[in-house]
Structure 1
Amino acid sequence: MQSEKSGILWVVGSFLIWGFMPIYWKHLEHVQSDEILTGRIMWAFIFTFLAVLIMRNGRQLVNDVRNLWKSQSQFWSLFIASVLVTSNWFIYIWAVNHDYIVQTSLGYYINPLVSVLLGIFFLKEKLSSSQKIAFLLAFTGVIILTVSYGKFPWIALSLAMTFAIYGFIKKNVKLDALRGLAIETLFITPFAVGYYIFLFMKGQAAFLQVDIKTDILLILTGIATALPLVMYAQGVRMVPLYVAGFIQYIAPTLMLFIGVVIYKESFGGVEMLSFSLIWAALILFTVSKVFETVSTKRSAHETSK
């Protein structure tokens, strides 16, 4: 039970950071999305690799790579996870810097529903009656948002699918969170380095060409990327996937608030209705989880007497 509480704290922290990330990317909207992604991959690898060395875990990192290679299913699962999260990063950065923050929030509202379904169908996780009702309320809210959007929300659905499947794979790959991220980014870093060389050769790179603020922000994308991913990877292994799925509503709620209040994207009555349904689902889910926890503690206490 204590490990589940710690897991919840890790996952909540990661989604709070992700929720505020649109503000960060908006400060880089003068840089092309492909360069932001390329820098994000490179600097995330550099920072995670340095962190591993500082913690004197370099030998364990080498052993992790060797063990992954021995288990080909784990190796290729992590490679697929790396490709998925890289795709998710690019779509998200592009959408934020092209004024689609509200649609990105829709994507991350849909994402937990996909996570819940993956947990039910593949991990045989169970929902209580009240949690099923909460799921239906949230599903209804998301459907209303999707229909009211007026056209096929490819950004939202792409974000939802890529990150949900990424989380599902990560839950089943047994690796230390920090070293796992170092390996994930290592898979893609050679491609990122090659693309950055191409950008410099073509004179299209912004890094070291615009101003010091841009350079610092591009470098810090590594920390902005690594920190929440490590926190998420650390926490998601300690909690049922459906719990992690509902916690994920923190990020899109913050994104929606930022998109509407700060960047003045449209938000009408239909969106408010959907938003209310989703929050009702969250309240119901949280209350049911609290009662479930209290009941489990009571049963354990009575058994120990």
Structure 2
Amino acid sequence: MTPLRLGYLYGIGAYLLWGFFPLYLKLMRPAGSVEILAHRIVWSVVFVALLLGAMRNIGFLRALLRRPRALAGIGIAAVLIAVNWGAYIYGVTSDRVVETALGYFINPLVVMLLGVTVLHERLRATQWAALGIGGLAVVVLAVDYGRLPYLALVLAFSFAGYGLAKKRLGLPAAEGLFVESAVLALPALAYLGWLGASGDATFGQVSVGHTLLLVSAGAATAIPLLLFAGAANRLPLTNLGMIQYLAPILQLGFGVLIFHEPMPPARLAGFALVWAALIVFTVDALHNSRRTRRAATTMASPTPHPIPR
């Protein structure tokens, strides 16, 4: 199998798993969103530690401890991913799956916005157009909801910020997830201990199946991230960006068709504007990618020399 085909399989696998996450989280009831988040953190540490042990790759920690700036960056990334996970779990368990899907639809637009405001990148006219349409969509959705779609915005900004932090850190997926989860593990364990002492914990109290679902949260967190890393190493960024819409499309479908969340005409119009912005963004990315490849091919081609007469 070619690396490109393997990259597509990894990418589709990652986004399919993320797309089915609402079904998985709904099964964890009656656990609350904070309890689910705490278990997700703790069991992620356990799962990835076992994985790194099997790969005999624990030694990276010694080198990392000698890099205080990297440790500070990991702390920031850990807080951002905890906010993202917590907001997503809360959205699903409070029957707002449609709004969580919106967050991941607008995430590419937020990434562009961070590129301008944080990295001082210059956008092309079509990218500005995509951002403008996305901003209009947020206004339409705010009118429909009677408030800003704050859950979607928190998801989009926290995940975009997390991606920016990860890009600057440059850690591999498994090692990065282990350290980020380890940073959050002590508060998570403290919360679970308090929950157990107060008699409000559902772990071990509901059923064997429920307990196993909470334990499996570590694997359910790590496996899509590892698949995503495998895809990112094999696919052009533009191709990977196209696949990312698979997850929010599935989440939106589950929210409307299975969980029967409302989709009034005004909300549908807001989503239509988001999709229009994403079409502009994707077409521009594809066009720019082709132009870059053509320029690289031209530069790599040898200059023909005149045939001596």
The verdict on a shared fold, with TM-score over 0.5 as the criterion, is yes
Equivalent residues of 1:137, 1:278 under 8 A apart: yes
> More helix by proportion, 1 or 2?
1
Give the 3 Å change call, closer, same or farther, for CA 227–143 of structure 1 in structure 2. farther
1:12 CA drift (Å): 6.0
Is 1:113–1:139's contact at 8 Å kept on the other side of the alignment? no
TM-fit CA distance, 1:95: 2.0
Q: Is 1:72 the counterpart of 2:68 in the alignment?
A: yes
Q: What is the Cα deviation at residue 38 of structure 1?
A: 1.2
Structure 2 vs 1, CA of residues 240 and 84 (structure 1 numbering), >3 Å: closer, same or farther?
farther
Is the contact made by 1:74 and 1:173 (CA closer than 8 Å) also made in structure 2? yes
Aligned to 1:87: 83
Q: Which runs of 5+ in 2 are unaligned?
A: 303-309
The structure with more radius of gyration: 2
Q: What is the identity, as a one-letter code, of the residue corresponding to 2:64?
A: V
Number of residue equivalences: 300
| 1:206 Cα offset (Å) | 1.5
Q: Give the secondary-structure state (helix, strand or coil) at the position aligned to 1:209.
A: coil
Deviates more, 1:292-301 or 1:175-184: 292-301
Aligned to 1:209: 205
Q: Which moved more, 1:91-100 or 1:196-205?
A: 196-205
Rounded Cα–Cα distance in structure 2 between residues aligned with 1:248 and 1:226: 17
Which deviates more from structure 2 when the two are superposed, residues 276-285 or residues 226-235?
A: 226-235
Deviation of the 1:126 alpha carbon? 4.1
Q: Kindly report the root-mean-square deviation, in angstroms, between the aligned alpha carbons of the 2 structures.
A: 3.1
Shift of 1:82: 0.6
Aligned with 2:288 (options 263, 278, 292) = 292
Give TM-score scaled by structure 2 length.
0.84
Q: Report the counterpart of residue 195 of structure 2 in structure 1.
A: 199
Residues 22-73 of structure 1: CA deviation (Å, up to 9, x unaligned) = 111111121122221111111111111111111111112x23432xxx3322
Q: 1:274 to 1:249 in 2, by over 3 A?
A: farther
- List per-residue Cα deviations over 1:256-305 (Å, max 9, x = no partner): 22111110000022222222232233333333333333333333333313
Change (3 A) 1:216 1:19: same
The 5-angstrom pairing of residues 172-191 of structure 1 reads: 172-191=168-187
Q: Is the 8 A contact 1:177 1:230 kept in 2?
A: yes
Deviation per residue, 1:98-121 (Å, 9 max, x gap): 111122223333433222111123
Conserved in 2, the CA contact under 8 Å of 1:43 and 1:221?
yes
CA distance in 2, matches of 1:35, 1:240: 38
SS in 1 for 2:94: coil
1:142 to 129, 138, 142: 138
Which residue does 2:20 correspond to in 1? 20
* Residue 129 in structure 1 maps to residue 94 in structure 2: no
Provide TM-score, normalisation by structure 1.
0.85
* Aligned equivalents of 1:227, 1:161: Cα separation in 2: 23
Note the alpha carbon deviations across 1:178-227, whole angstroms, 9 max, x for none: 10110000111122222222222222222222112101111111111122
Shift of the 112–245 alpha-carbon distance from structure 1 to 2, 3 Å rule, reads farther
Cα deviation for residue 147 of structure 1 reads: 2.5
Distance 1:64 1:87 in 2: 28
Aligned mates of 1:117, 1:5 — CA distance in 2: 31
- Aligned equivalents of 1:21 and 1:299: distance in 2? 41
Query: 1:40 is matched with which residue?
Result: 40
Q: How far, CA to CA, are the matches of 1:140 and 1:210 in structure 2?
A: 45
Name 1:274's counterpart in structure 2.
Answer: 270
Please state how far the C-alpha of 1:128 moved relative to its aligned partner.
3.2
User: How high is the sequence identity, in percent, across the aligned residues?
Assistant: 39
For the Cα contact (< 8 Å) 2:138–2:148, is it kept in 1? no
